């Protein structure tokens, strides 16, 4: 995981999504497709720079957050703008799709 992709917990989640554009990857270490999504997110973070925040939430360690947003399969990526959920992506997403959604 790139240093540009933040790891969120129950304590940091609300503040992280409160303002601006934030893409959250709900994942787990045992999930094969999640392992494929990680390097793609690193590239997206490099491309978009300061235009948006890219972050991850480990669903095993933060199940209540995943439940709050109806995450039933992983990877699920959720796009937030100023604290409001605006789009869900289920399954591995390609770099171009994510960059377009964030710009």
Distance CA 97, CA 27 (A): 18
The reply to whether 61 belongs to the active site is: no
State the total domains in the chain.
1
Whether 4 contacts 46, CB under 8 Å: yes
- Full pLDDT tens readout for the chain, 103 residues: 557 899 999 999 999 999 999 999 999 999 999 999 999 999 999 999 889 999 999 999 999 999 999 999 999 999 999 999 999 999 999 999 999 999 8
Return the pLDDT at 2.
Answer: 57
The CATH number for 68's domain is 3.40.30.10
Return the pLDDT at 16.
Answer: 94
Selected catalytic residue, list 1, 4, 28, 31: 31
Selected catalytic residue, list 17, 34, 74, 77: 34
Residue 102 is assigned to a structural domain of this protein? no
Return the pLDDT at 41.
Answer: 95
* Pairs from 90-93 (Cβ < 8 Å, separation ≥ 24): 91/33, 92/33, 92/36, 92/37, 92/40, 93/37, 93/40
The reply to whether 31 belongs to the active site is: yes
Q: 69 is in which domain, residue-wise?
A: 5-94
Return the pLDDT at 103.
Answer: 84
Return the pLDDT at 1.
Answer: 52
């Amino acid at each position: 995981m790139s240093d540009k992709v933040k790891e969120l917990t129950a304590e940091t989640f609300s503040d992280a999504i409160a303002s601006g554009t934030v893409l959250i990857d709900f994942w787990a270490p045992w999930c094969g497709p999640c392992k494929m999504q990680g390097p793609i997110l690193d590239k997206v973070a490099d491309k978009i720079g300061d235009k948006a925040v890219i972050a991850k939430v480990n669903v095993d360690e933060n199940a209540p957050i995943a439940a709050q947003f109806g995450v039933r399969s992983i990877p699920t990526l959720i796009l937030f703008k100023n604290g409001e959920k605006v789009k869900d992506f289920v399954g591995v997403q390609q770099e171009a799709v994510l960059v377009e959604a964030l710009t």
